[in-house]
């Protein structure tokens, strides 16, 4: 993983998918530091956490939480506060040793700390390799399916138990890359979290947009992030905004239409208004922060009326929530 790599995870809620943004902010001889940003109507977390290189190589403990502040007081006594870097554990991935062992032996020893509201409980068990397959994600603004190893933890009978009534069972899908065994998806009983986007900041971002727009094709942009159900642009959007501003500076004759699109959660009227407001926010950011002439940019919004994929899955809804650039 390189500095600037951004990983977006989503989980379902009745009001819409809750997205958290993780980004590699630094690497050194001691390890890798990630930032974490999650802002919903329920809570806001903005913090960092470092994973040691030795843990990336050898740890048998997976602890995915990032927390700041004081945990709630109303949890059972056997739960422990989740704060700090937690040496001895990994954060966004299992260790290279765990993936190597599960690939060769079909089983491995691993402790998983599922946690909620900054509290965690340990589940230590043998995990089983129960197969391989593709996990759909948006990689650098393109939908792809990446190869993954499916791990199952808990009692063997969990595999035969319907997810809605499972207890003490979990499944993980691990990127099948010995150097970067990223946890792409995990389910605990009926709850699911999934990586929906991975992107790497750099000049290739601008180059890809230029190539698409030069061909007079619409460019789907997934690296502009908004507050939950709002039109406020989150700070992690700056590399993408900078890439759009750069291409406009390189092609001063170009004009762009900026269109907003949503998934289908919520009313059609609300989503239509939200999509238009989000497009207007993108234009405002380009004009005020990057000094792009307002006359070169127009905006529109279509709500959920032009989906790219099904709205029945996390990955489908992620494809539908987007900003689209059209060269006018």
What are 121-140's pLDDT values in tens digits? 556 677 889 899 999 999 99
Query: pTM for this one?
Result: 0.86
Which three-class secondary structure state does DSSP give residue 288?
helix
Contacts of 175 (CB under 8 A, 6+ apart): 93, 135, 146, 147, 148, 181, 182, 183, 184
Q: What is the CATH number of the domain that holds 210?
A: 3.30.1330.60
Measured CA to CA, the distance from residue 2 to residue 327 in angstroms comes to 32
Do 24 and 32 contact (CB within 8 A), yes or no?
yes
What is the per-residue pLDDT for 81? 46
DSSP β-ladder status, 219-221 and 297-301? unpaired
Q: What value does the mean pLDDT take over residues 261-271?
A: 94
Same domain, 295 and 187: no
The secondary structure element, H or E, covering residue 278 is helix 268-290
* Total of domains in the chain: 2
What is the per-residue pLDDT for 78? 44
Q: Is the pLDDT of residue 242 over 90?
A: yes
Cα distances (Å, whole numbers) of residue 27 to 53, 203, 290, 296: 9, 20, 29, 39
Same domain, 179 and 212: no
Q: What value does the mean pLDDT take over residues 266-284?
A: 96
Among 177, 200, 223, give the residue marking a domain's end. Answer: 200
Q: What percent of the chain has pLDDT over 90?
A: 57
What are 177-224's pLDDT values in tens digits? 999 999 999 887 667 889 999 998 778 888 889 999 999 999 999 999
What is the per-residue pLDDT for 17? 85
What range defines the domain where residue 111 resides?
Answer: 5-200
> What is the Cα gyration radius of the chain?
21
Same domain, 123 and 15: yes
Q: Is the pLDDT of residue 41 over 80?
A: no
| Phi/psi-derived region of residue 43, left when phi > 0, alpha when psi is between -120 and 50, beta in every other case | beta
Q: At what angle do helices 238-250 and 203-214 cross, to 10 degrees?
A: 50
Same domain, 182 and 53: yes
Among 139, 165, 200, give the residue marking a domain's end. Answer: 200
Same domain, 125 and 171: yes
Same domain, 181 and 222: no
Same domain, 101 and 63: yes
How confident is the prediction for the chain on average, in pLDDT?
86
Q: What value does the mean pLDDT take over residues 300-325?
A: 95
């Amino acid at each position: 993983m390189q500095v600037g790599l951004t990983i977006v995870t989503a989980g379902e809620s009745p009001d819409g998918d809750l997205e958290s943004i993780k980004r590699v902010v630094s690497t050194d001889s001691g390890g890798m530091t990630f930032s974490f940003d999650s802002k919903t109507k329920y809570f806001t977390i903005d913090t960092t956490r470092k994973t040691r290189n030795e843990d990336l190589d050898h740890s048998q403990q997976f602890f995915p939480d990032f927390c700041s502040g004081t945990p709630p007081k109303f949890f059972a006594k056997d739960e422990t506060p989740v704060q700090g870097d937690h040496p001895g554990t990994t954060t966004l991935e299992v260790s290279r040793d765990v993936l190597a062992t599960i690939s060769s032996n079909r089983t491995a020893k691993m402790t998983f700390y599922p946690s909620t509201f900054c509290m965690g409980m340990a589940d230590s068990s043998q995990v089983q390799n129960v197969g391989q397959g593709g996990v759909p994600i948006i990689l650098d603004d393109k939908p792809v399916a990446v190869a993954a190893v499916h791990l199952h933890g808990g009692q063997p009978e969990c595999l035969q138990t319907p997810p809605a009534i499972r207890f003490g069972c979990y499944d993980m899908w691990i990127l099948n890359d010995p150097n970067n065994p990223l946890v792409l998806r995990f389910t605990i009983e009926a709850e699911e979290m999934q990586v929906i986007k991975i992107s790497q900041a750099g000049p290739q971002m601008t180059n890809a947009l230029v190539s698409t727009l030069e061909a007079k094709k619409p460019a789907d942009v997934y690296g502009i992030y908004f507050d939950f159900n709002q039109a406020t642009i989150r700070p992690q959007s700056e590399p993408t905004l900078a890439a759009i501003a750069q291409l406009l500076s390189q092609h001063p004759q170009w004009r762009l239409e900026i269109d907003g699109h949503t998934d289908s959660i919520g009313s059609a009227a609300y989503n239509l208004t939200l999509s238009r407001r989000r497009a207007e926010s993108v234009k405002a950011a380009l004009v005020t922060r990057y000094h792009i002439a307002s006359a070169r940019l127009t905006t529109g919004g279509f709500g959920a009326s032009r989906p790219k994929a099904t709205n029945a899955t996390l990955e489908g809804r992620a494809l539908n929530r987007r900003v689209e650039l059209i060269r006018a």
